[in-house]
Chain A
Amino acid sequence: MSRIPVSALLGLVLTGGFFLVAIFAQWIAPYKMDELVGGVWDPMSAKHLLGTDSIGRDLLTRMIYGAQVTIFIATCATILSFVTGSVLGFLAATAGGWVDLALSRFVDLVMAIPSLILALVVLTAVDVSVFTLIVVMGLLDSTRVFRLSRAVAVDITVMDYVEAARLRGEGTSWVIFHEILPNALSPLVAELGLRFIFAVLFISTLSFLGLGVQPPLADWGGLVKENSAGLVYGIPAALAPAMAIAALAISVNLVADWVLSRTSSLKGGRGA
């Protein structure tokens, strides 16, 4: 492992911090998530470090639980999108022919519809729960992962070592998991960071629009929405979750950039 640049180190520390907060929310949070502890939009104080929200709950507590919800949903959706997207993408590239054609055209069709609109339509039709949110977001995002992994895998499937594996009589799953996946990992890992950020933004947008996480649970997007009315009166409560979203997005991005430049670098490109 060569030296880590300052920007990536900062990104790693911040991202790690966010994830720690999310994992240990129940222990860190000073109050209960939906406990009324003060007046409406109390200013910052020693008791309430970030003040209180639109109905008098502790904002820091809400933020910490919001981190848990946001990061949990975004992580699950990203994992789902990568598992489906990359496996189908690799399959399309290895199988070729009509399998490739059918999958690729279907993905084109889904991508032709703006994903936010598609998500809104689907979420109005089904019961909104954390589970449905993850499934809808994960599947919609998997189209992007599909295209990337197919493009990467198409280059790999024409390599002689894949042909050698086929000539040996290996099955499709061996070819995908032993020959293609290890060589496609670098671009996919870099993409993972970016897709995670998009998932965070996506869930925040959905919640802001009221179709995401339902009260009393709240993610950061929902917190912005709950407190946005206060902005008119000069109350900054809505800014804290907005800034948290931005900070998470930037720190993950810093890490993703570093991974990308490291794995695509000419020097020691094998990564290992």
Chain B
Amino acid sequence: MHNVLDIKGLRIEATSYPPGEAPRNVVLVNNVSVAVQQGRVLGLIGESGAGKSTIGLSAMAYGRGGVRLTGGHILLNGREIREASAGDLRILRGREVTYVAQSAAAAFNPAKRLMEQVIEASLLHGVMGRAEAEARAVDLFDKLGLPDPANFGNRYPHQVSGGQLQRAMTAMALCPKPDLVIFDEPTTALDVTTQIDVLVAIKAAIRDTGVAALYITHDLAVVAQVADDILVLRGGKKVEYGPTDQIINHPQEDYTRALVSVRSIDHVEKTEAPAVLSVSGITARYRGTNFDVLKNVSVDLPAGQTLAIVGESGSGKSTLARVITGLLPAAKGDLTFAGRKLSPDLASRSKDDLREVQMIYQMADTAMNPRQTVGTIIGRPLEFYFGLKGEAKRQRIQELLDDIEMGAGFIDRFPAELSGGQKQRVCIARALAAKPKLIICDEVTSALDPLVADGILKLLLNLQARESVAYLFITHDLATVKAIADKIAVMYRGQVVRYGSKTDVLTPPFDDYTDLLLSSVPEMQIGWLEKVLAGRKMESAGN
């Protein structure tokens, strides 16, 4: 077994242009060495900014957007490629090394059929003729478990689901018989139940074709299923490098241990309390359509507690939030809030109704006006609802900043000057500023790195204990649910299929969908993937 890829002492730099300052050099990757043997999978893991994608792409001697590979060696099949000429690289890319991107939907050309795109690289590099390439593609479609493999290639990208498209891209990468495939977060954008299918397909395809692979992800539980070795990265430096078993079961470094044990919040559900929000018999559809996105949904949210709404994309969980906030008036059904009936339409709600229901969004980036300072963002609800001005307002902003564990220095900063976790904290402060009885949290931790998300969840729990605010927590991530929920409602295709206290919902016997959903959450355990597949009761929704 020889090393397909051998990276030694790699150093990658880029020039950063901070606004209003002189450009400066930043080191993205410092002295990283890894090797991948034929038929083996190396997992690269780390938070955003850890340099994992940058290292992955360097295996093609490629630097995204002005990134420079300034030192060390990149040996591909024993050849140094770090300073290879553009012509040599063109021959090697798409032939010896191929790449599977995170968002398949954005990576395919929507105007061309899948087959054309899957075999394009093979034809371009003259690896094989058209007939042979098409036969290989069909074979790969079959291996990857795609429906009707013989005709699958005739479809256009928009005619297949996200999970299928991701597998089609894997077929594209494997088609020219490469020596190394780079998987860059291939399942991150997918639902949990779809993620499993793609993981299984990728794992089988790697085994059957015997290629070497780099698997880049931020999810340690996922990488534990597919990788033989794992490299843990932080801030462009190696934290720990070793066989999967060692990293998962006997991590040496503190950082790795934190990653392995993340989401370990021990939350005991609260006892039953009177409902602050009652949703009864809600049916809703979007204007101009005749499809009910929500069908007869009824749930109760006890005051000062957390109701988690769980489901995959398209299950209607975000629509439920829009109905409760009044952005989408329901066709049928009632909302009762704090003992009074809530008008279905936003425009006819009183200022107090608006104040007492606040919302936190998934993407903190777009939830804050980039032209307003943190002080303005948090201060506006204070001014709007309570008429606070001047010193009183500033003092209250200060208190809120303390509440979200951020210091005084942040009041005059713009959102662009905050990290992802800080942004989400400011959004929480904005919601808290209104002194609400209910905060709707729409996937608030999904865009964050695991450790940062953990911090946000702990903050939310602390604030709930102190301010006794109720959360309607929308998420697709069951680990989060276990950490924070008092009650759970599982949604599937616009209906609540399972609803009750956390213990009841998470205790067998399960209905088929809940079973699928629960069993699909990757666990930090080697061999988990195979075990799950053996015990499955229904096909995932993506198929």
A residues sitting closer than 8 Å to B (CB atoms) are 1-2, 159-161, 163-164, 166-170, 178-179, 182-183, 267-268, 270, 272
Chain B residues positioned under 8 Å from A166 (CB to CB): 327, 346
Given the interface pairs A164-B367, A169-B384, A179-B369, the reply to whether A270 lies near B416 with Cβ below 8 Å is yes
Partner of B327, one of A1, A167, A267: A167
For B352-373 the 0/1 string (1 means CB < 8 A from A) is: 0011011101010011111110
B368 touches A161 (CB 8 A): yes
B346 touches A167 (CB 8 A): yes
Given A2-B20, A161-B369, A164-B367, output 8 extra A-B contacts at Cβ < 8 Å. A166-B327, A167-B327, A167-B359, A170-B384, A268-B17, A268-B19, A270-B19, A270-B371
B20 touches A164 (CB 8 A): no
A168 touches B354 (CB 8 A): yes
B354 touches A169 (CB 8 A): yes
Complex CA–CA separation, A170 to B359 (angstroms): 15
Q: Give A182 Cβ to nearest chain B Cβ, in Å.
A: 4
Interface of chain A, main secondary structure: helix
Given the interface pairs A167-B346, A168-B381, the reply to whether A183 lies near B351 with Cβ below 8 Å is no
Given the interface pairs A160-B366, A183-B369, the reply to whether A168 lies near B380 with Cβ below 8 Å is yes
Closest Cβ neighbor of A179 among chain B residues: B369
B354 touches A167 (CB 8 A): yes
Chain B residues positioned under 8 Å from A183 (CB to CB): 369-371
A167 touches B325 (CB 8 A): yes
B residues sitting closer than 8 Å to A (CB atoms) are 17-20, 325-327, 346, 349, 351, 354-355, 357-359, 361, 363, 366-372, 380-381, 384-385, 414, 416, 430, 434
Complex CA–CA separation, A106 to B24 (angstroms): 51
B366 touches A161 (CB 8 A): yes
Q: Give B400 Cβ to nearest chain A Cβ, in Å.
A: 15
B366 touches A268 (CB 8 A): no
Q: Give A1 Cβ to nearest chain B Cβ, in Å.
A: 8
Chain B residues positioned under 8 Å from A272 (CB to CB): 19-20, 414
Chain A residues positioned under 8 Å from B363 (CB to CB): 160
Complex CA–CA separation, A163 to B416 (angstroms): 20
Closest Cβ neighbor of B353 among chain A residues: A169
Closest Cβ neighbor of B357 among chain A residues: A167
Chain B residues positioned under 8 Å from A270 (CB to CB): 19, 370-371, 414, 416
B384 touches A168 (CB 8 A): yes
Complex CA–CA separation, A182 to B369 (angstroms): 9
Complex CA–CA separation, A2 to B22 (angstroms): 9
Closest Cβ neighbor of B414 among chain A residues: A270
Closest Cβ neighbor of B367 among chain A residues: A160
Partner of B19, one of A160, A178, A179, A267: A267
